[in-house]
Structure 1
Amino acid sequence: MIPVVCVMEWILHNKQYSKEVKLSVLVVVIGVGVCTVTDVKVNAKGFICACVAVLSTSLQQITIGSLQKKYSIGSFELLSKTAPIQAVSLLIFGPFIDYYLNNKFITNYKMSTAAMLFIILSCSLAVFCNVSQYLCIGRFSATSFQVLGHMKTICVLTLGWLLFDSELTFKNIMGMVIAVLGMVVYSWAVEAEKGSSSAKNIPHVKSSLTEEEIRLLKEGVDTTPVKDVELGESKA
């Protein structure tokens, strides 16, 4: 998803990335791919849903950052305006998408107390996730949010191994190490890019008076008659 965000920012906002940033993003993508990708199976429905999810999420994250910068509004203010729209759209389109994927409507699912509790817990965690998303994108960028977001993947794998005794292979560990290394390099590359851009924006300070202006001032002083204050006379 990181490459898609980078390409869309370049297309929509003509954002340029340094070689260091591109290299660090590539390292993060390789690391996450190594530790998460196992058996790859592709079907039409899954491919379509994946493409729509990646494109829509990338566009949403880029729009969040551009709106905050364009209108100088805070993360919570923007979230309060967009959250109702997102909720209504999910209520309208969600059941039909579920039916397209599972051939079952949500009404066919038998609700239980445990299911309701986990739904409430999931919604509560989603609120905190959205808040952190808006805060991070408003402070940094959509690309930075994606890079930092992959730390969540590493935490999921680690907690799964610690709490649920999930298998953690050498391949997973190497992928996590590569991903963390890419995040560190990305942080350094972004700071270096900011430093170089700020240095270019500093204007060259020059003297307020040029040599020609100084020469003309000297000639004017030499040719201006000096007035004798005491006698009230002018001396050439």
Structure 2
Amino acid sequence: MLDGTDWILCFKNGISVACKRYSPDFQLFSWTVEEMSLTSKVEHKVVLDTAAWSFNIVTSVGIIIVNKALMATYGFTFATTLTGLHFAATTMMTLFLKRLGYIQSSHLPVSDLIKFVLFANFSIVGMNVSLMWNSVGFYQIAKLSMIPVSCFLEVVLDRVQYSRDTKLSILVVLLGVAICTVTDVSVNAKGFIAAFIAVWSTSLQQYFVHYLQRKHSIGSFDLLGHTAPPQAASLLLVGPFMDYWLTDKRVDNYNYTFISVMFVVLSCAIAIGTNLSQFICIGRFTAVSFQVLGHMKTILVLILGFLFFGKEGLNLHVVVGMMVAIVGMMWYGHASSRPGGKERLPPPSNNKPEEAIGLVKSNEYDEKV
């Protein structure tokens, strides 16, 4: 059969297929479909990760532009109530998906649900109050501080270890975004307290998105189905009073027009995608990666703002800041995906329970970026 030319013999064995290559000197080279399927799985993951990030960026930037028009042009300044409407729309979406069978019945302990809703609502209210009581510059600094706080939570609660390059890339992102966004910086006692509450509650809420999916083995849709209804109910109950305190205006006295109502509906529709994409991204990655790579949205919002609302804010230091931030994000993506770039250490070997303080038992490295 062997005539001096290479030939390939392939045979099927159940699901797997093995191919063997014979050469004239009878040297054997083999490879299996399992090896090739590993490559296809990696490519499939890259496609899904890219789609998740793109979905989040598009919806997040879209809702910022719509809300800016709604509040600045049409005077609907009731941010907390609007967020409650966002979660009400998200709740209706999850109920619809549940009827279609896309959301399966799953269990989430009431204690975990209460903690999540508290963190999420304090995050929303805290951010609104922080923006009211602080300068824009300090507000941006507070938002940037969520990255080191999220890192701290992962190091302490999940025993995550970062490589030197990963840490440096995070610093580069922080520097670039700070150059872009931080202008005047002034702080007062009550503003600092509001920012402190906002930063920690937001970081804990985002940590819990990843933690609860991993702990209870539930998907993004399932977790959103558990958390959206209580968030909608609590924010719609508290929102009008909070907005009246912040703006001295009552939501029921607002002059509703057809166009303003359509903008509210559009905002709610986009918010469904924003909420879902956040849960998907943090579930697939981590809160730190979501914060670091998520600052691409900040860059896009700045660019779109210059395009649609004038270029008076566009100057050299903003452009330099954008470039530095983008380089930092690319470096972070490369550094954190390398072996040892970001990994979860195994728990210490002792006789104490491995699951303590609500942590998840885990002996494997964290494969998420």
Is the shorter-chain TM-score for this pair beyond 0.5, marking a shared fold? Answer: yes
What stretches of structure 1 of length at least 5 have no aligned partner?
203-236
In structure 1, give the amino acid aligned to 2:267: S
Structure with larger RCO (C-alpha < 8 A, sep 6+):
1
Deviations 1:157-181 (A, max 9, x none): 1111222323311111111111111
Query: Of 235, 240, 246, which residue of structure 2 is paired with 1:90?
Result: 235
| Correspondence for 1:127 among 272, 279, 283 | 272
Separation of aligned partners in 2, 1:40 and 1:65: 33
User: Tell me, what secondary structure is at the counterpart of 2:160?
Assistant: coil
More helix per residue? 1
Distance in 2 separating the partners of 1:101 and 1:197: 43
Task: Tell me how far apart the structure 2 counterparts of residues 100 and 14 of structure 1 sit (CA, whole Å).
Answer: 41
Instruction: Provide the residue aligned with 1:52 in structure 2.
Output: 197
CA contact (8 A) 1:32 1:175 kept: yes
1:110-189 residue pairs with structure 2 within 5 A?
110-167=255-312, 168-189=314-335
2:158 equivalent to 1:13:
yes
- TM-score normalised by structure 1 residue count: 0.76
- C-alpha change, 1:145 and 1:6, in structure 2 (3 Å) is same
Once residues 49 and 197 of structure 1 are traced to their aligned partners in structure 2, the CA distance between those partners, rounded to angstroms, is: 33
Percent of aligned positions that are identical: 54
- What is the CA–CA distance in structure 2 between the aligned matches of 1:160 and 1:196, rounded to whole Å? 34
For each residue in 1:167-205, what CA deviation from the matched residue of structure 2 results, as whole angstroms up to 9, or x when unmatched? 31111111111111110111111112457969x999xxx
Q: How big is the shift at 1:72?
A: 1.4
Matched residues in 1 for 2:311 and 2:258: separation?
A: 27
Q: Which amino acid aligns with 1:116?
A: V
Larger strand fraction of residues: 2
Structure 1 segment 191-210 matched on structure 2, within 5 A: 191-194=337-340
- Aligned with 1:57: secondary structure? helix
Give me the whole-angstrom Cα distance separating, in 2, the residues matched to 1:131 and 1:91.
20
* Alignment counterpart, residue 223 of structure 2, candidates 71, 74, 78: 78
Aligned residue in 2 for 1:225? none
SS at match of 1:16: strand
Provide the rounded CA distance (Å) in 2 between the counterparts of 1:45 and 1:112.
Answer: 36
Amino acid corresponding to residue 237 of structure 2 in structure 1? I
CA contact (8 A) 1:45 1:101 kept: no
CA distance in 2, matches of 1:99, 1:36: 29
After TM superposition, the structure 1 = structure 2 runs for residues 24-35 of structure 1, keeping only pairs within 5 Å, are: 24-35=169-180
Could you say if the C-alpha distance between residues 95 and 46 of structure 1 is closer, same or farther in structure 2, counting changes exceeding 3 Å?
A: farther
Counterpart Cα distance in 2 of 1:109 and 1:196: 49
Q: Deviations over 1:204-234 (max 9, x none)?
A: xxxxxxxxxxxxxxxxxxxxxxxxxxxxxxx
**1:3 and 2:153 correspond:** no
Contact 2:162 2:342 (8 Å CA) reproduced: no
3-state DSSP of counterpart to 1:153:
helix
**Residue aligned with 2:289, SS:** helix
Q: Judge which range, 189-198 or 123-132, deviates more.
A: 189-198
Shift in Å at residue 128 of structure 1? 1.0
Contact 2:169 2:328 in 1 (8 A): yes
Instruction: Decide whether the 8 Å contact of 2:162 with 2:340 is kept in 1.
Output: no
Unaligned 5+ segments in structure 2 are 1-145, 347-362, 365-369
Cα 1:4/1:197, change in 2 over 3 Å? closer
Query: Highest Rg: 1 or 2?
Result: 1
**Would you say the 8 A contact 1:35–1:171 is kept in 2?**
yes
TM-score (norm 2): 0.50
How many residue pairs were aligned? 201
Residue 166 to residue 87, structure 1, CA distance change in 2 (3 Å): farther
1:101 equivalent to 2:279? Answer no
Separation in 2, partners of 1:197, 1:11:
13
